[in-house]
Amino acid sequence: MTPAKLQLTIDFTEQELALGRQIIETCRDLERRGLNQGTSGNVSARLGPGAQDGFLITPTAMPYDVMQPGDMSRVRFDGGHSGRHEPSSEWRFHLDIYRTRPEAGAVIHTHSGYATTLACLRREIPAFHYMIALFGGSNIRCCEYATYGTQELSTLVLKALEGRSAALMGSHGLVVLGPSLPRALMLTVEAETLAMMYWRAAQMGAPRLLSEPQIAAVREKFATYGYGGAADSGPP
């Protein structure tokens, strides 16, 4: 999709500015935890349930520590965007996730160390630990490499995310979706922790994998633990 012309407006509503503040808090939290730094990665949040509402996303190439709520870019579902800055170069996969995954209220992309290490090896995270069930099934898949910011990358990411709320991106990083910013942040931390534990276990041998019925049993228990029900339900 060709991006529609940038509209240089800063007519954000109070609600949009509040969402912008939440996005920045999430970015700074990711940075404090060492999951992103500088301008790596990006964060977005859906504006509302309506088809034309679109989402707010971090601007491209702006360090998180200087970002202000009014710096966010508003992207519509037709790919048009407005704001005083260009949206993140990865707006395409954020847009495609919101379009195809109605449960997605927020999307986080990181270059976090352990997840990216596995992604550089094209290694998915298998069911070596029961917490993998938090992401919708028995693995977190890894997609092939494509240039950042391209439709090709978005298509690969979407496929790897089928039935899952996280995916590794070949030679690139991690992408996570959740119903809200806090939930997406929590899932990002969990995905990076699983990547770290898998990497460590793999140093010592071949980690034992849980079976499909064992993972199904955990998913069933997660449905009544904390948030309940959703594909990514589980411990808060």
Burial class (CB in 10 A: 0-12, 13-18, 19+), 14: exposed
Instruction: Give the number of other Cβ atoms within 10 Å of residue 148's Cβ.
Output: 14
Q: Are 167 and 116 in contact (CB under 8 A)?
A: no
Contact pick of 12, 19, 42, 175 for ligand 13P (by CB under 6 A): 42
Cβ proximity to ligand 13P, 157 vs 218, nearer residue: 157
Q: Does 233 bind ligand 13P (CB under 6 A)?
A: no
Cβ proximity to ligand 13P, 58 vs 233, nearer residue: 58
Site string for ligand 13P, 74-113 (x = CB under 6 A): --------------xxx-----------------------
Question: How many whole angstroms separate alpha carbon 162 and alpha carbon 222?
Answer: 20
> Tokens in use for 124?
């998915």
Q: How far is the CB of 41 from ligand 13P (least distance, A)?
A: 5
Cβ proximity to ligand 13P, 157 vs 187, nearer residue: 157
Q: Does 60 bind ligand 13P (CB under 6 A)?
A: yes
Q: Does 193 bind ligand 13P (CB under 6 A)?
A: no
Integer angstrom CA distances of residue 57 from 53, 201, 236: 13, 36, 24
Alpha helices in the chain (DSSP H): 14-32, 91-100, 113-120, 151-160, 181-204, 212-222
Q: Are 214 and 221 in contact (CB under 8 A)?
A: no
Cβ proximity to ligand 13P, 84 vs 201, nearer residue: 84
Give the residue numbers marked as catalytic.
Answer: 90
Number of residues that this document lists for the chain: 236
Q: Does 41 bind ligand 13P (CB under 6 A)?
A: yes
* Residues near ligand 13P (CB under 6 A): 39-42, 58, 60-61, 88-90, 148
